[in-house]
Amino acid sequence: MADARVVVPAGALVAGLPLVLALTDVHLTGAPAALVVSTATGALAVSALTVQPLLAARLRRLRLHRALGAVALALVLVHVGALFVVSPGDALFAMSPDGPTRARMALMATVALVLVVALGVLRRRLPFGPVTWRILHAYLATLVILLGFGHALITQGALDGAGTVVLVAFGAGALAGVALAELARHRTRA
């Protein structure tokens, strides 16, 4: 078990850095409360998705992994819901076939996130063997990271500049975490 003197500050840094960068961006000057909520939940979802694979790689952290998975999904749903409050017309346009690439990435990442959480919740009820389940879960998690972080990277107005560096670093860490989790599970033949 890792030392709490390392885990607590590292956790605070991962949770706080995207949030602080996103909330101090100029595009929130005079913005409605719903846009602040949407920006904050999006930034927190980045943090949650960054640590999820690392938690999965540590066998004793599975309960936390399951809880944070539900939190990540809730954050993403509030992030999208708040955008509907900000401007229903813009939100519907973004999700339509005429919407921009960044919105299409977000839509697909959200579908993958719903599926990866459903896979976790229904694990015992699905007819998959352990290895098949693990491959599906890791594949969907990789899609969530690539499409979700990709969406955040090409979206302007939050997490630009220093935020871009944070997103690339966190995204690379999350992808490395998926590989680590696979190796950990492979060794224990879970």
Does residue 22 belong to the site contacting another protein (CB under 8 A)? no
Q: Which one of 56-64, 73-81, 86-94, 162-170 is the stretch in contact with another protein (CB under 8 A)?
A: 86-94
Shortest reach from residue 124's CB to another protein, in Å: 17
Residue identified by tokens 């599975």 is 62
User: CA-CA distance, 74 to 28, in Å (whole number)?
Assistant: 22
Contact 53, 181 (CB under 8 A): yes
Separation of alpha carbons 67 and 62, rounded Å: 9
Q: How many CB atoms lie within 10 A of CB 104?
A: 16
CB distance 175 to 145 below 8 Å:
yes
Q: Would you say 124 or 189 has its CB closer to another protein?
A: 189
Nearer to another protein, 16 or 32 (CB): 32
Site string for another protein, 128-157 (x = CB under 8 A): -xxxx--xx--x---x---x------xxxx
Contact pick of 83, 117, 119, 141 for another protein (by CB under 8 A): 83
Neighbour count for residue 125 (Cβ, 10 Å): 6
The residue count for binding another protein (CB under 8 A) is 39
| x/- map, 111-130, another protein, by CB under 8 A | ------------------xx
Query: Are 170 and 50 spatial neighbours (Cβ–Cβ below 8 Å)?
Result: yes
Considering only residues 31 to 70 of the shown chain, the ones binding another protein according to CB under 8 A are 31-32
Write down the least CB distance from residue 7 to another protein, Å. 31
Give the amino acid at 83: L
